[in-house]
Amino acid sequence: MRVLAAQINQTIGDLEGNARRVLAALKRAKEKKADIVLFPELTLSGYFPDDFLLDNAFIEACWEKLEEIRPATQGMFVVVGLPRRNPMGKEKSLFNSAAVFANGKLLGFKDKTLLPTYDVFDERRYFEPGCEQPIFEYLGRKIAVTICEDVWQHSKQAGYSDYHCDPVEDLKEKHPDLVLNISGSPYYFNRKDVRLSVFQAVAKTLCCPVILCNQVGVNDQLVFDGHSLYLNEKGETIQIAKGFAEDDLWIDLEVHACPCAMPENGIKDLYEALVLGVRDYLHKQGFKKGMLGLSGGIDSALVACIAKDALGAENVLALSLPSRYSSPGSVSDAVHLAKNLRIELRHVPIDSVFQSYLDLLEPTFENEMCELAEENIQSRIRGAILMAFSNQYGHILLNTGNKSEMAMGYTTLYGDMAGGLGVLHDVTKLHIYQLAAYVNKKQEVIPEAIIRKVPSAELKPNQTDFDTLPAFEVLDPVIEDYIEERLTPEQIAAKRKLPLDFVRDLAHKMHLAEYKRRQAPISIRVTQKAFSKGRVIPIVQKWR
């Protein structure tokens, strides 16, 4: 029995394009004589369609596409995900469903039972849980169809939730011969292992092979990494689809294959997630070219590398925007990097505009201009010039800020926070150094001088980040503990052997910056807790 797990890259609401991908895969499947084909969760709408689910026309259009697909399922068992009307009309009017076809005939549906409503997920906003764990018979086999989260409770790996029921347990007494799982399971740093362990547990409990078909690609801040899986009945990993690219995972259930190991390189995966994050976001938005400000620092250097790998060197424009406070190295390092990457670099010194602001404002203020105002003006001039280039040439501006800065509010609204995509907003500074080392592994791309220099915003003489921030070796673990692990300041102080007041002060600063982050561009989520959709914290609050 031959199975195709079609790991495709859908776009939200592109029903036409998503259906085209499905039909193309079914054609390949027919040519290669597949018996079973499965697609990712919410195949036709893309995961996740948000409030389009409240639009009747959207649901109807998904069903029209399903009808178009039906004839192409002739001679095969096919699982396609889509939202469907809840015929019982309970609290929510939809199910997150999988349509199951055999030989061009609709066998029935599997409605998702466990609906993640935490972090970036809000499926309860739209869906009712399905209660059944149906088994479909095909060519003498009993096939269980499950949808993503349905299998996560079994390993107690569903986040923030402990569901009433465990569909895997419910399937036990039905003795399936094969479990299919269609998923929209997003990437985050080092998550691959967790996901693998979840599916291993399913195979072991049900003593049958398990096939996961996961979405790949980027929809808004979520990166789907693919890595679809085939495990045998012992829970051994037999095949893994590509990461961060569309892929056909062809499986022959009768062939006895040796287990393989999940390739493990957290930083490589992280880099690829960021490259896909830039490429897919720009291309799905219709942009070919990106641009950025190249300061001579490590953050913008890394974004330049990612942009080049995502878009091609000819599609990246960099600007060097030095001021009176820029070190000579800033410009020459940027030149060196741009040369290494073969990307275009233009020089636009900002000092004349800066002086015109000073001439205008200094007589207006009763007192001397405060440092904060003077620093922010420079940063905002750079933002305005970058946006002027963006307007003039139609390139999207890539933002180069990092998670450590975003956490602490060590950023300027409308200045270094400007842009259409926050490439590194979910990457802490220590990870940025690791990514730079990864980029330089084969040969020096990012000049050593950039990596070695003390981080600085260069907005006043002799400034360094550490005038304001603690060392990143201290700060980054606190950010990870507080934001990702959701530990209290008390727990962090004990874990990291830091003074409680110091940790409290950092936590307080993270909350103070909330209003700034709300005005940040959309960013690429690569950790289990990014500053964005999945973290709902009020601006006005007195708790932390």
Catalytic positions: 41, 112, 148
Of 265, 391, 464, 468, the one binding a copy of itself (CB under 8 A) is 391
CB of 207 to a copy of itself, least distance (A): 28
Between 150 and 189, how does the x/- string for binding to a copy of itself read (CB under 8 A)?
Answer: ----------xxxxx-------------------------
User: Is residue 60 near a copy of itself by the rule CB under 8 A?
Assistant: no
User: Is residue 413 near a copy of itself by the rule CB under 8 A?
Assistant: yes
499-528 residues near a copy of itself, rule: CB under 8 A: 515, 518-522
**C-beta of 361 vs 437, nearer to a copy of itself:** 361
Pairing of strands 105-111, 135-138: unpaired
The phi and psi torsions of 85 (rounded to 5 degrees) equal -60, 135
Between 326 and 365, how does the x/- string for binding to a copy of itself read (CB under 8 A)?
Answer: --------------------x-x-x-xx-xxx-xxx--xx
User: Is residue 87 near a copy of itself by the rule CB under 8 A?
Assistant: no
The SS3 of residue 127 is: strand
**C-beta of 286 vs 499, nearer to a copy of itself:** 286
User: Is residue 68 near a copy of itself by the rule CB under 8 A?
Assistant: no
114-133 residues near a copy of itself, rule: CB under 8 A: 117-118, 122, 124-125
Residue 432's nearest CA partner among 382, 492, 479, 384 is 479
d(CA 272, CA 278): 10
User: Is residue 540 near a copy of itself by the rule CB under 8 A?
Assistant: yes
d(CA 175, CA 428): 46
CB of 42 to a copy of itself, least distance (A): 13
d(CA 176, CA 110): 15
User: Is residue 442 near a copy of itself by the rule CB under 8 A?
Assistant: no
For 50: left if phi > 0, alpha if psi spans -120 to 50, otherwise beta; the answer is: left
The percent helix, strand, coil of the chain (3-state, each to 5) is 40, 20, 40
**C-beta of 235 vs 383, nearer to a copy of itself:** 383
Of 71, 172, 207, 414, the one binding a copy of itself (CB under 8 A) is 414
d(CA 527, CA 446): 24
221-280 residues near a copy of itself, rule: CB under 8 A: none
First-to-last alpha carbon distance for the chain, in angstroms, is 57
Of 81, 235, 243, 420, the one binding a copy of itself (CB under 8 A) is 420
Listed ranges 90-98, 252-260, 324-332, 431-439: which one lies at the site for a copy of itself (CB under 8 A)? 90-98
Q: Which distant-in-sequence residues (6+ apart) come within 8 Å of 258 by Cβ?
A: 238
User: Is residue 418 near a copy of itself by the rule CB under 8 A?
Assistant: yes
**C-beta of 55 vs 444, nearer to a copy of itself:** 55
User: Is residue 488 near a copy of itself by the rule CB under 8 A?
Assistant: yes
**C-beta of 140 vs 363, nearer to a copy of itself:** 363
d(CA 466, CA 453): 13
CB of 267 to a copy of itself, least distance (A): 26
d(CA 401, CA 182): 35
User: Is residue 94 near a copy of itself by the rule CB under 8 A?
Assistant: no
**C-beta of 176 vs 322, nearer to a copy of itself:** 322
Record the tokens describing residue 214, joined without a space: 């996961």
Type of residue found at 391: N
Q: Show the CA angle centred on residue 29, arms to residues 26 and 30, nearest 5°.
A: 90
Residue 402's nearest CA partner among 351, 442, 455 is 455
Q: Which distant-in-sequence residues (6+ apart) come within 8 Å of 520 by Cβ?
A: 399, 401, 406, 417, 422, 425, 531, 532
Of 152, 281, 410, 472, the one binding a copy of itself (CB under 8 A) is 281
